Amino acid sequence: MGDKRNDWVQTYGNDSTHLRSDYANILAVDYLSDGKTLNVTLLLKSNSENGSIYSQPFKKIRYGMLIAIASLPPTSGYNGANYDFYVEAVNGKWSEYLYLLSSTGTRVLMYSKINYTEPFGGTTIGPGYVKLRLDLNSIGHPRAYGLSFYTAESFKSNEARDFTNWIVIPPSDLHILTDPKDTVIRQGEGHLIPAEMKSPYANNVTSIKFDNGTNYSSDGLSVSTERIQHPLFKVEVSPQTPIGVYIIPFVASVSVNTTLATPTSAPATATVERVTGSVDPEFQVSKKYPTIGYITGPANLTIHVIPPVTFNETFSAFWGSYGDFVALIGAGLVGSVSTFLIEHIKSRKENKRKDKIG
């Protein structure tokens, strides 16, 4: 399940009077893939039982998703999007399209289903939901890809869209690296633990949440987040915390920033239509595509709790650090005392000799 994060974007015209309705307002998205088919449910703000908006004159409503293939460079397609799949309602009729998007500024129709009827309140479209179904074979069965879901509502020459940020399929694992690698803390001590979280796509951490919210606490062991980016954990172990290994679960989010070229006019590499001298209008719209996504996943922080330092360990550590110095001082002291004793004995002998002569 993904929540919507972006606001409305005016893609054509300047008038939004008849746009941005609840029928085109995405609240959340539910998606599931078995590797062969991608099933998507757009959850909309409108829960009206009335579907007459799809039959209004001069009105078009589109529900779709942009698809970015992970194995292709971010400069490919339309601002990083390689496919555009959507269904659209015009005058009560529905059509379905899949386009291949080229960085040359042209798009190729890969599939279409034109002017069919879809009962409102059925399995596909109804109060507060629209379902999309994509055969992944039509886009080459990618192993990993990004999705940005959107709606487009137009009235005459004006259009507004509601985009979501990019998400990654399949969800990426998050790996945590701490410094030092093995986090060992003694009973009664506390430490600040720097860490790094990585995924195949990004490492810019935006949030860290434990099961209890902003911190973790159990058996006298407490963990809190001192810093999100770059992560810094504060770990405190009470003297009563049982000895052992503690695996502390949390959920982290990292942001994905796509490096995309922004078209402002017909680029040198774009294919210009010979009659009008312009590129595909959607290529110009693509400069308003979202460029940020988020990866959210579970991770674990492992803490090894060991006993407090004993006297023998303290002495051994002290001797290991200062033993040579202490031995040197001791040797010097013995040498000084020996010299003093020798001189003292010599002095006594000399005095006795003088006494006999006198």
pLDDT(274) > 60: no
Predicted confidence (pLDDT) per residue in 99-117, tens digit:
999 988 889 999 999 999 9
Contacts of 27 (CB under 8 A, 6+ apart): 3, 4, 43, 44, 45
**b/e string for 308-333 if b means 16 or more Cβ within 10 A?**
eeeeeeeeeeeeeeeeeeeeeeeeee
pLDDT above 90: residue 280: no
Cα 100 to Cα 85: distance, rounded to the nearest angstrom: 9
Can you give the pLDDT at residue 317?
58
Total Cβ atoms within 10 A of residue 216:
21
Amino acid at 238: S
Does this model's pTM top 0.75? My answer is no
Which tens digit of pLDDT belongs to each residue from 315-350?
565 556 665 655 555 555 555 545 555 565 566 656
**What are the tens digits of pLDDT across the range 230-265?**
899 999 999 999 999 999 999 988 887 654 333 333
| pLDDT digit string, tens, across residues 161-215 | 999 988 888 877 778 888 888 899 999 999 999 998 877 666 688 899 998 788 9
Higher confidence at residue 87 or residue 169? 87
Mean pLDDT of all residues in the chain? 83
56: closest CA among 23, 8, 87? 23
Query: pLDDT by residue (tens digit) across 16-52?
Result: 899 999 999 999 999 999 999 999 999 999 988 889 9
Return the percent helix, strand and coil in the chain, to nearest 5: 20, 45, 35
Measured CA to CA, the distance from residue 317 to residue 156 in angstroms comes to 81
How far apart (Å, rounded) are the C-alpha atoms in residues 63 and 356? 125
List, for residues 136-176, the tens digit of each pLDDT value: 999 999 988 989 999 999 999 999 999 998 888 887 777 88
Share of the chain above pLDDT 90, in %: 52
- Based on its alpha-carbon atoms, the radius of gyration of the chain, rounded to whole angstroms, reads 36
List of E strands, 211-343: 215-218, 221-227, 232-237, 244-257, 292-306
Residues 6+ apart with CB under 8 A from 10: 16, 158, 159, 160
Q: What residues contact 170, with CB distance under 8 A and at least 6 apart?
A: 33, 144
21 or 268, greater pLDDT: 21
